[in-house]
Structure 1
Amino acid sequence: MEDTTTGPPPERHVAVFAFPFASHPPLLLTLVRRLASAAPTVVFSFFSTAKSNRSLFSDFSCHNIRPYDVSDGIPEGYVFQGKLQEDINLFLAVAEEELRKGVKVAEADIGVNVGCLVVDAFFWFSGDMAEEMKIPWVAFWTAGACSLSAHFYTDVIRSKSSQLLEGSSGVPDEDEIVDFVPGISAIRLSDLPSGVLFGNLESPFSTMLHKMGRTIAKATAVPINSFQELDPDLTKNLSSELNNFLNIGPFNLITSKQNPPPSKVDEFSCISWLEAQEPRSVAYISFGTVCRPPPHELVAIAEALEETKILFLWSINNDSKKHFPEGFLERTTADGSGKVVPWAPQVQVLEHVAVGVFVTHGGWNSVLESVGAGIPMICRPFFGDQQLNTWMIEKVWGIGVRIEGGSFTKRGTRCALERVLSLDGSPKRIKERVEALKELAHKAVEPNGSSNQNFKTLVDVVTRATL
């Protein structure tokens, strides 16, 4: 448990709205913890679902951060039907009303009216709330500048894509490479996030992101979990369109340098296994907690690993192990070539000298952790911003490759592993570029670094008395 002492009486009340899914709540809480430390006389009321708050605050408390539960929108006795984003859609149906009610409860409880909203940028309607309350609206984007730009320019992208179709029939060619997204010199249309041009454009989730893109220019500040040296062109463009567009990350580096979290025990001995391996010889494989490659792709990865004899550490849930080729676990364990675990301390693993490549889904947190450790990536994106992140990794930053054909085959996996782990030619350039970005990322979070200076600007926005 962290500090539970009673602090000074609050001089200001900031309401925080978390989007209670995936990595969004812990990232927002990381930001709020930094703000709470920088502004000890400000009280932060943190709104999320009961399930989310239990997870976040089970071993953490702070005198000026107070959790408040809002409904998840799931009716009593409701039976899930297995529809895409079903839980998200139920929550979005009640989110605005629940958060409005929650603010009134917190104001009565704390005894100070809310003077600022710090919210997950997904909650586009919070801009209307802030305008009604005549207070600053801080819209936090948990991912990178590239995906924010895609949503901010959705109407431009749709209009320009329609012009491509003039005189033809059908839909835009998914493989078309275009140059009309400001700040990105070229992008393949199929790598844009789902809901921008392809997919169900009318789903609640797509609609939410479209409205967010249309309204975020009204925000008082738009902090993001990135560093401006990673995307200078995007930063320049978005800074010209948004108020106080602030790169304040990478959070994984700031947390480790300034406010280390309680270390989770390496219960599966990943680090001790890595200690026995040669430098840059191991492929670390993990697709996060949500993404799961289909069985035939798991087989392809396993067969490629055995065929190449490349050392590997694979973090995968126990249920998926049943799809491995017969005897795979036994053979690789016996010869010491591999270690399969249900969980790994990812940041520690990536920072270990034995790791030479990260096989990943391309989620933003994983990308930043890989950059922070200077590790090249092999990407197999699934959904959300992962396709666009992968494009940036391969085509813009030059710090990794997309798996051939977009999914794992034995041949494609083997080629990617051998290519990135090689020390000659293009792999050397990939390693040099990711090392250069690692250095820039670490400099950004130093006391005089760009991210730290941007954070000071954010503190000023959150704590100032008036708009």
Structure 2
Amino acid sequence: MGIPHFLCLPFPVQGHVNPLMQFSLLLAKHGCKVTFVHTEFSLKRANTAGGDNKEEALVEMVTLPDGLEPQDDRSDVAKLLFSMKNTMPALLPKLIQDIDASDVGNKITCIIVTINMGWALEVGLKLGIKGALLSPPSATSLACTACIPNLIEDGVIDSEGLPTKKQQIQLSPEMPMMDTDYLPWRGFKKMFFDHLVQEMQTLKLGEWWLCNTTYDLEPGAFSISPKFLPIGPLMENSNRSSFWEEDRACLEWLDEQAPQSVVYVSFGSLAVMDPKQFKELALALDLLDRPFIWVVRPGNEKKENVNEYPNEFHGSKGKIVGWAPQKKILNHPSLACFISHCGWNSTLEGICAGVPFLCWPCATDQFLNKSYICDVWKIGIGLEKDESGTVSREEIKKKVDEVVADDDIKARSLKLKDMTINNIQEGGQSSKNLSFFMDWAK
């Protein structure tokens, strides 16, 4: 057999494109052939945002249309999802045929998808091509989602995914207790929850469910299914998967700051903050009287970031950027702590940088990640809302001062960093799993 040839199809949001692109680069570095399928719209976005580097030339880019009109709002995730499901399955076989025809000796041997793209595994199955899932959230989130039928059967949630009562549950004896209010599909509309249930069934067509995590970070999750295979942390650097232009000037500014002095604030690529909370956060950064980097994403067609900075906000100690080279910032010696929404990609990047967290989850699986950060790994603390549902500037200041002064949290963060990164070194568990997966794909 020749080398494996992977066809990678991410759902076109930043938190899915990123890990799958990193995984593609890792496979390409190991001598595999990789073709990466963007939607026409997201390839345009990614190309205008990032530079090229030599490694990325290893991954071939192709596109399929997402079925929407150019002026449609792609931040409406449900609309995008259902449009893709209606348009793309009919177009994929032709794309595969064309790719195979262009390099006869190197036909596609395996399709890798992220969640919401399970239909591509069905197409692959009909064409006799093996498949795998790369799961963008944590293994624990994936385990929860895989257990939905059992949770409904046991009466823990109803058929719409809502908890029947407030309680703590445990999915398996090795896993931490979970609050049913914070299951990862929290806030999903019924149509989206139904899609998720159906999607999990479709994803079973994938022989492996690859997780961007390590066995040590969430060991209990791996008892849920023999399909789970930890191959993380994915550490490849990719410019080509970013949807926004990164502000690199902040790195030079970081070089001028004192060691462990800078507070980094970022809520990922999807979270939206209400205007009152935005103002409170701005004033908190003044109150902190510490250097800070605050990522405020450029507004999109919905004009979501029409947040006004309050008149009394100086912001003189910090930098406000539209999008940031997050890994470089987190790994910088000037960094003190990370105020994060606790999305899985950010959580993993923070762990790999050994940085203490202040947790401010907004939606879905972020609450679950927060409980790991605060209660299981104990490398951060949560920000609490007041009775009006706002995180106050006083609360932010109090918790930043607390986490920056906590040497135990710092020590645990550094220990967890080493343990996590050791997994991808020669002989590490994730490294062995990767070799196993590539051999299987041949």
Q: Could you state the TM-score of these two structures normalised by the residue count of structure 1?
A: 0.80
Of the structure 1 ranges 286-295 and 443-452, higher mean CA displacement relative to structure 2 is found in: 286-295
Counterpart of 2:323 (choices 343, 350, 358) is 343
Q: State the shift of 1:56 in Å.
A: 5.0
How far does the alpha carbon of each residue in 1:396-415 deviate from its partner, in whole angstroms, 9 at most, with x for none? Answer: 22211222037522233223
User: Match of 2:90?
Assistant: 97
- Using a 3 Å threshold, how does the CA distance of structure 1 residues 83 and 299 change in structure 2: closer, same or farther? same
Alignment partner of 2:330: what SS?
helix
1:87 and 2:95 aligned: no
1:461 and 2:440 aligned: yes
Tell me if structure 2 keeps the 8 A contact 1:124–1:211.
no
Tell me if structure 1 keeps the 8 A contact 2:3–2:31.
no
Paired AA for residue 178 in structure 1: I
Q: State the shift of 1:439 in Å.
A: 0.9
Of the structure 1 ranges 434-443 and 274-283, higher mean CA displacement relative to structure 2 is found in: 274-283
1:160 and 2:154 aligned: yes
Alignment of 1:34-433 (within 5 A): 34-40=26-32, 43-55=33-45, 59=52, 65-75=59-69, 80=73, 85-111=78-104, 113-162=107-156, 172-173=164-165, 175-180=166-171, 183-194=174-185, 199-203=188-192, 206-235=193-222, 237-238=223-224, 241-243=225-227, 245-252=228-235, 255=236, 269-317=249-297, 320=305, 323-329=308-314, 332-333=315-316, 337-405=317-385, 407-423=390-406, 428-433=407-412
User: Match of 1:444?
Assistant: 423
Q: State the shift of 1:268 in Å.
A: 5.5
Aligned length: 426
Q: State the shift of 1:275 in Å.
A: 3.2
Tell me if structure 1 keeps the 8 A contact 2:263–2:336.
yes
**Alpha-carbon distance between aligned partners in 2 of 1:457 and 1:54, rounded to the nearest angstrom:** 35
- Using a 3 Å threshold, how does the CA distance of structure 1 residues 302 and 48 change in structure 2: closer, same or farther? closer
Alignment of 1:15-30 (within 5 A): 15-30=7-22
User: Match of 1:4?
Assistant: none
Of the structure 1 ranges 445-454 and 212-221, higher mean CA displacement relative to structure 2 is found in: 212-221
Paired AA for residue 213 in structure 1: M
Paired AA for residue 358 in structure 1: F
Tell me if structure 1 keeps the 8 A contact 2:144–2:171.
no
**Alpha-carbon distance between aligned partners in 2 of 1:261 and 1:65, rounded to the nearest angstrom:** 10
- Using a 3 Å threshold, how does the CA distance of structure 1 residues 444 and 11 change in structure 2: closer, same or farther? closer
**Alpha-carbon distance between aligned partners in 2 of 1:446 and 1:32, rounded to the nearest angstrom:** 18
**Alpha-carbon distance between aligned partners in 2 of 1:48 and 1:389, rounded to the nearest angstrom:** 28
**Alpha-carbon distance between aligned partners in 2 of 1:381 and 1:358, rounded to the nearest angstrom:** 13
User: Match of 1:5?
Assistant: none
Paired AA for residue 308 in structure 2: H
- Using a 3 Å threshold, how does the CA distance of structure 1 residues 321 and 18 change in structure 2: closer, same or farther? closer
Of the structure 1 ranges 315-324 and 213-222, higher mean CA displacement relative to structure 2 is found in: 315-324
Q: State the shift of 1:267 in Å.
A: 5.2
How far does the alpha carbon of each residue in 1:193-220 deviate from its partner, in whole angstroms, 9 at most, with x for none? Answer: 126xx632322xx334323333444422
Alignment partner of 1:85: what SS?
helix
Q: State the shift of 1:183 in Å.
A: 4.6
Q: State the shift of 1:359 in Å.
A: 0.6
- Using a 3 Å threshold, how does the CA distance of structure 1 residues 81 and 284 change in structure 2: closer, same or farther? closer
Q: State the shift of 1:327 in Å.
A: 3.6
Of the structure 1 ranges 370-379 and 273-282, higher mean CA displacement relative to structure 2 is found in: 273-282
Q: State the shift of 1:187 in Å.
A: 0.5
How far does the alpha carbon of each residue in 1:54-81 deviate from its partner, in whole angstroms, 9 at most, with x for none? Answer: 45567367776433221211147x6559
Alignment partner of 1:246: what SS?
strand
**Alpha-carbon distance between aligned partners in 2 of 1:227 and 1:192, rounded to the nearest angstrom:** 21
Paired AA for residue 309 in structure 2: F
Paired AA for residue 315 in structure 1: V
How far does the alpha carbon of each residue in 1:123-159 deviate from its partner, in whole angstroms, 9 at most, with x for none? Answer: 2234433433334212111221111111111112223
Tell me if structure 1 keeps the 8 A contact 2:251–2:329.
yes
Greater relative contact order: 1 or 2 (C-alpha under 8 angstroms, separation 6 or more)? 2
Which runs of 5 or more structure 1 residues have no equivalent in the other structure?
1-8
- Using a 3 Å threshold, how does the CA distance of structure 1 residues 361 and 136 change in structure 2: closer, same or farther? same
**Alpha-carbon distance between aligned partners in 1 of 2:271 and 2:204, rounded to the nearest angstrom:** 32
Alignment partner of 2:391: what SS?
coil
**Alpha-carbon distance between aligned partners in 1 of 2:266 and 2:174, rounded to the nearest angstrom:** 30
Q: State the shift of 1:36 in Å.
A: 2.5
Alignment partner of 1:362: what SS?
coil
- Using a 3 Å threshold, how does the CA distance of structure 1 residues 222 and 313 change in structure 2: closer, same or farther? same
Which runs of 5 or more structure 2 residues have no equivalent in the other structure?
300-304
Alignment partner of 1:249: what SS?
coil
**Alpha-carbon distance between aligned partners in 2 of 1:179 and 1:11, rounded to the nearest angstrom:** 42
- Using a 3 Å threshold, how does the CA distance of structure 1 residues 321 and 363 change in structure 2: closer, same or farther? same
- Using a 3 Å threshold, how does the CA distance of structure 1 residues 111 and 208 change in structure 2: closer, same or farther? farther
Alignment partner of 1:222: what SS?
strand
**Alpha-carbon distance between aligned partners in 2 of 1:13 and 1:266, rounded to the nearest angstrom:** 31
Alignment partner of 1:251: what SS?
coil
Tell me if structure 1 keeps the 8 A contact 2:336–2:404.
yes
Tell me if structure 1 keeps the 8 A contact 2:74–2:80.
no
- Using a 3 Å threshold, how does the CA distance of structure 1 residues 164 and 210 change in structure 2: closer, same or farther? closer
Paired AA for residue 48 in structure 1: H
